[in-house]
Structure 1
Amino acid sequence: MNACSQSPLKNDRKAKALQRWKILKQVLTGSASSETCTSEVSVRRFSSYGLLKTQHSSTEPEGNVWYQYTAPGRPGFNMSVRHLPGKLDASTLLGFNNTGNVCVWPSEEVMTNYCLQHLEDFRDCSVCELGGGMTCLAGLALAIEAQAESVVLSDGNQESVENLNVILKEKENCAKFGKTQVSSRLICWGSDSKHEDLVGSFDFVLCADCLFFDEGRADLADLIFDILKPKGRAILFAPHRGSTFQAFRELAQKQFQVEVEENYSQEVWDLHCKLKNSNSGLYDENIHFPLLMTLTKNS
């Protein structure tokens, strides 16, 4: 396995990373003030690996912004995506869960790039993206490029789902779906969540950066198991975020065959190493570098 060389400021960066993660956790649990969130927006100072490019298309009177997404590694690919006007404060982030309305997180970008590199895996298959926020970039990219049988874009926040509905109705996107059946819906996970109509429905489940809520991990693992077909696979991208990635891995091993990869893409690995050793203070692998976890349902 390749390894990045260590920065001489490793300990200092680790301390800063733990502090930023503590603040983000306070925001997500409602124990941080708006003032704290505003002053500590450093948790989002690194926002992209540059795997996807965006060009502003238009801005709606309500503040929603349309972008054309392209991928340098896939000439000819583009999709039209509407962003909600994100604001990082306590009221914005609370809910089930509203973090996907704030921005597109690096894990979603990396997962989208991964899907575009493995399109053949999804041909003629049924796919569901869980917790995809306001954009579900990976699911949308597959709907456009993979010739899948069906793609369901989902989130647990109603505002995100309403935005997904608008994206799917956009003419430039619709024209590229071909025979793929594409839809969006609200999907939550928890004891009160209902998804009986989805049981055993999908060959693939996609999920990016949804492992950090302590109370939701077991429910997420159960949901993925329920909605996958026998031998179906879940593709999850998420950073360590302290012990949260490992905690989900241990839960998932009770129901799935689990594989974890760090170097799943030489392109992403090289970018990660370069950023890690840049000493810029903007990049923290604990909260920014997504690992790949693949879950296979045995029966």
Structure 2
Amino acid sequence: METGAPTTAKPSSLRWKILRQALLRKPTDEQSAIGVKRITRKTTQGFNLIPSNLVEDHPTNLTDATACYTIPIDSAPKLYLTQRVVDRAELSDFEICNQYNIDNTGLVCQWPSEEALAYFCLRNADMFRSKSVIELGAGYGLAGLVIAAVTEASEVVISDGNPQVVDYIQRNIDANSKAFGGTRVKSMMLHWNQNEKSNISSTFDLIVASDCTFFKEFHNGLAQIVKFLLEKVRPAEAIFFSPKRGDSLDKFLEKIKESNLCFSITENYDTEIWKRHNQLMNGDGSWPSYEKDHCYPLLVRIAL
């Protein structure tokens, strides 16, 4: 009799098994590791567009580490992001997810789509100059911090719906405050399904986000937040970086259309990112589980 999850197990079953292992703090066996690869394309390297290295002499605790990101343009400041590095979930993570009706992916890693968004923003700095910008679902906030450091935006608000993530964002803002020049930078707790949108008093010329369309249960709330923010300033635009991930992106764009918003999709939007994508598709070995549908972020531009 065989034990463990069969190769035909549904992703939901695999997630429950991983959750059980996380709560029991038991190491995953080989079969479980295969299961993880089937439901996530997490990578420790990504596209390597903005090189980073761990800062060993930076004060850390047992769960956190600080990475130094070197922005690949002349005279740009280095950015220091504290990130969680433990390879297991804590019970408190799931309690917070249940309490706030959120997911916990912002704490998992620095997602490659966020790196691609950050790189696109620094390569197109002119579109942000003197603009007010908000990043949705920012995770550790790399893209928002890059915008603040290199584009001369007037204001950058880096938001997430998970209070644990917002704590990391604020720590990273504080750690890099000297890199922002005259740009005002702050964190914000923003849940896409919140009813009290009137609490958002600021107006924004540009909305940016990466990998926010994965969970279909949040699509409607995300579309409504985008519409609400776009209607406050005209003209305004939202820039999303998201892989297709099966029909997940398509389902989100259906909600965008239902909200009477317009969108365009661009596959080849930057020569360097496209080059890295093709290298990975040809199997250069740096990202073994790379698949276009799950890993390569498309550029989606949304407007009224």
The verdict on a shared fold, with TM-score over 0.5 as the criterion, is: yes
Q: How far apart, CA to CA, are the structure 2 residues paired with 1:257 and 1:285?
A: 25
Which deviates more from structure 2 when the two are superposed, residues 225-234 or residues 237-246?
225-234
Is the 1:211–1:245 contact (alpha carbons within 8 Å) kept by the matching residues of 2?
yes
Show the counterpart of 2:24. Answer: none
* Residues 150 and 32 of structure 1, relative CA distance in 2, 3 Å threshold: same
Question: In structure 2, which of residues 152, 157, 166 is the aligned counterpart of residue 152 of structure 1?
Answer: 157
Show the counterpart of 1:40. Answer: 35
* Residues 268 and 183 of structure 1, relative CA distance in 2, 3 Å threshold: same
Which deviates more from structure 2 when the two are superposed, residues 213-222 or residues 85-94?
85-94
* Residues 176 and 157 of structure 1, relative CA distance in 2, 3 Å threshold: same
Question: In structure 2, which of residues 214, 229, 236 is the aligned counterpart of residue 232 of structure 1?
Answer: 236
Write out per-residue CA displacement over residues 157-191 of structure 1, whole angstroms, 9 at most, x where no aligned residue: 11110111111112xx211222211100110111x
Show the counterpart of 1:246. Answer: 250
Deviation at 1:141, TM superposition (A): 0.6
Return the structure number with greater relative CO, CA threshold 8 A, min gap 6: 1
Deviation at 1:277, TM superposition (A): 2.1
* Residues 61 and 32 of structure 1, relative CA distance in 2, 3 Å threshold: closer
What does 1:203-242 align with in structure 2 at a 5 Å threshold?
203-228=205-230, 229-242=233-246
Q: Which amino acid aligns with 2:123?
A: Q
- Count of residues in Structure 1 that have an aligned counterpart in Structure 2: 273
* Residues 30 and 222 of structure 1, relative CA distance in 2, 3 Å threshold: farther
Deviation at 1:197, TM superposition (A): 3.1
Q: Which amino acid aligns with 1:241?
A: R
Show the counterpart of 2:168. Answer: 163
Write out per-residue CA displacement over residues 95-114 of structure 1, whole angstroms, 9 at most, x where no aligned residue: 21210101011110100000
Q: How far apart, CA to CA, are the structure 2 residues paired with 1:26 and 1:90?
A: 18
**Unmatched runs of 5 consecutive residues or more in structure 1:** 1-17
Is the 1:199–1:226 contact (alpha carbons within 8 Å) kept by the matching residues of 2?
no
Show the counterpart of 2:183. Answer: 180
Q: How far apart, CA to CA, are the structure 2 residues paired with 1:285 and 1:92?
A: 34
Q: Does 1:267 align with 2:262?
A: no
Q: Which amino acid aligns with 1:181?
A: R
Give the secondary-structure state (helix, strand or coil) at the position aligned to 1:152: strand
Show the counterpart of 2:142. Answer: 137
TM-score scaled by length of structure 2: 0.81
Which deviates more from structure 2 when the two are superposed, residues 202-211 or residues 49-58?
49-58
Q: How far apart, CA to CA, are the structure 2 residues paired with 1:209 and 1:292?
A: 11
Deviation at 1:285, TM superposition (A): 1.2
Give the secondary-structure state (helix, strand or coil) at the position aligned to 1:231: coil
Q: Which amino acid aligns with 2:239?
A: I
TM-score scaled by length of structure 1: 0.82
Deviation at 1:227, TM superposition (A): 1.6
Is the 2:156–2:184 contact (alpha carbons within 8 Å) kept by the matching residues of 1?
yes
Deviation at 1:24, TM superposition (A): 7.4
* Residues 210 and 93 of structure 1, relative CA distance in 2, 3 Å threshold: farther
Deviation at 1:33, TM superposition (A): 3.9
Is the 1:165–1:184 contact (alpha carbons within 8 Å) kept by the matching residues of 2?
yes
Deviation at 1:279, TM superposition (A): 7.8
Deviation at 1:288, TM superposition (A): 0.7
Deviation at 1:219, TM superposition (A): 0.9
Instruction: List structure 1 segments (4+ residues) > 4 angstroms apart after TM superposition.
Output: 29-32, 35-39, 88-94
Question: In structure 2, which of residues 3, 11, 25 is the aligned counterpart of residue 23 of structure 1?
Answer: 11
Is the 2:14–2:35 contact (alpha carbons within 8 Å) kept by the matching residues of 1?
no
Q: Which amino acid aligns with 2:215?
A: F
Give the secondary-structure state (helix, strand or coil) at the position aligned to 1:202: coil
Write out per-residue CA displacement over residues 47-77 of structure 1, whole angstroms, 9 at most, x where no aligned residue: 41110111222251243111110133x1332
Show the counterpart of 2:106. Answer: 100
Give the secondary-structure state (helix, strand or coil) at the position aligned to 1:80: strand
Give the secondary-structure state (helix, strand or coil) at the position aligned to 2:236: strand
Is the 1:207–1:236 contact (alpha carbons within 8 Å) kept by the matching residues of 2?
yes
Q: How far apart, CA to CA, are the structure 2 residues paired with 1:266 and 1:136?
A: 24
* Residues 30 and 186 of structure 1, relative CA distance in 2, 3 Å threshold: farther
* Residues 151 and 231 of structure 1, relative CA distance in 2, 3 Å threshold: same
**Unmatched runs of 5 consecutive residues or more in structure 2:** 1-6, 22-27
Is the 1:92–1:98 contact (alpha carbons within 8 Å) kept by the matching residues of 2?
no
Show the counterpart of 2:25. Answer: none
Which deviates more from structure 2 when the two are superposed, residues 81-90 or residues 176-185?
81-90
Q: How far apart, CA to CA, are the structure 2 residues paired with 1:208 and 1:217?
A: 14
Q: How far apart, CA to CA, are the structure 2 residues paired with 1:161 and 1:91?
A: 19
Is the 1:86–1:101 contact (alpha carbons within 8 Å) kept by the matching residues of 2?
no
* Residues 25 and 244 of structure 1, relative CA distance in 2, 3 Å threshold: farther
